[in-house]
């Protein structure tokens, strides 16, 4: 399997977050897990003056998801099962069985783009979104499109 770079340059217009893998089906993984594993810049938990925290938390205009995983020797291949794009659970489990937190379903090999409503300038906090999967090891390749 190829080595994955971790892009820390979030100046845009795009920010590849990498291939986010679900190690254990039913246990959601934050899409920011590779670039900010400790969630230092998560606006829901940020503490002013935290070491390593940015002055402002990142927002994006779109989030692009691809339902793929690493190929056996190189490249990418379609997932075995579905990948679920989840909104961070406040009350529920926030996993694939928490239907009140499911934003979209990625079928194997499918692409999905999360976009704001047409006449707004609203942006998304990438810390708000997680993925979960039907099968261990299924993934999503995720890219932020920054305003």
* pLDDT exceeds 70 at position 1: no
Please, what's the largest Cα pairwise distance for the chain? 44
Residue 117's pLDDT is what?
77
Give all strands (DSSP E) within 6-90, no chain letters.
Answer: 14-21, 29-30, 62-66, 68-70, 76-78, 83-87
Select the more confidently predicted residue: 114 or 116: 114
* pTM for the model: 0.87
* pLDDT exceeds 80 at position 127: yes
Helix, strand or coil, per DSSP, at residue 87: strand
Residue 72's pLDDT is what?
86
pLDDT (mean) for 127-137: 96
pLDDT (mean) for 2-6: 72
* pLDDT-derived band at 112, boundaries 50, 70, 90: very high
* pLDDT-derived band at 97, boundaries 50, 70, 90: very high
């Amino acid at each position: 399997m190829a080595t994955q770079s971790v892009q820390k340059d979030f100046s845009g217009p795009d920010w590849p977050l990498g291939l986010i893998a679900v190690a254990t089906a039913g246990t959601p993984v934050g899409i920011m897990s590779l670039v900010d594993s400790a969630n230092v810049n998560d606006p829901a938990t940020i503490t002013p003056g935290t070491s390593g925290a940015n002055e402002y938390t990142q927002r994006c205009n779109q989030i692009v998801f691809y339902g793929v995983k690493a190929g056996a020797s190189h490249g990418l291949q379609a997932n075995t099962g579905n990948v679920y794009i989840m909104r961070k659970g406040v009350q529920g489990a926030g996993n694939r069985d928490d239907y009140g937190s499911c934003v979209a379903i990625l079928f194997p090999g499918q692409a999905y783009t999360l976009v704001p409503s047409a006449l707004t300038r609203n942006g998304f906090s990438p810390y708000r979104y997680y993925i979960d999967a039907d099968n261990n090891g299924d993934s999503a390749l995720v890219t932020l499109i920054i305003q």
